[in-house]
Amino acid sequence: MQERTFAIVKPDAFRKGYTGEIIGEIAKAGFKVVAIKKASISKAQAAGFYAVHKDRPFFDSLTAFMSSGPIVMMVLEKANAIADWRKLMGATNPANAEEGTLRKKFAGSIEENAVHGSDAPETAAFEIGYWFAGYELI
């Protein structure tokens, strides 16, 4: 069964010019890019997206970072998309990320860690709906 997940090339990776290489890895891993757009988001939009983290000590810094420059947002589709995209991303902290993962290759720190991916079907549904309209997902 096909599954969809939500992905972001974060501002650090965009700024460093890694977007093309990251999309190449996504294609190589067999994901279909259902939707894609570049955006510069506000701190308030980032806060809504990361609302589950609002009580964490890094919330203000994270939302400032996410609104610090352009990002690329994508909806990816394949069988097992959510888990497979998390695997390709690697651990949140690049110091713990496995060889061959995007965060191992491109992340600079635990916060500026290059990519985002939904962690469960419920979060994927929320995140896709937060950034994309239904007509963009046909």
Residues designated catalytic: 116
Separation of alpha carbons 52 and 93, rounded Å: 19
| 3 state DSSP class of 83 | helix
Residue 127 · residue 3 · CB < 8 Å: no
Query: Tokens representing 86?
Result: 């998390």
Number of residues that bind ligand GDP (CB under 6 A): 9
CB 33 to ligand GDP: min, Å: 20
Binding mask 81-120 for ligand GDP (x = CB under 6 A): -----------x-----------------xx-x--x--x-
Whose tokens are 């977007």? That residue is 19
Instruction: Tell me whether residue 58 or residue 130 sits nearer to ligand GDP (CB atom).
Output: 58
- 61 sits near ligand GDP (criterion: CB under 6 A): yes
Tell me how far apart the 2 most distant CA atoms of the chain are, in Å: 39
Interface ranges with ligand GDP (CB under 6 A): 58, 61-62, 92, 110-111, 113, 116, 119
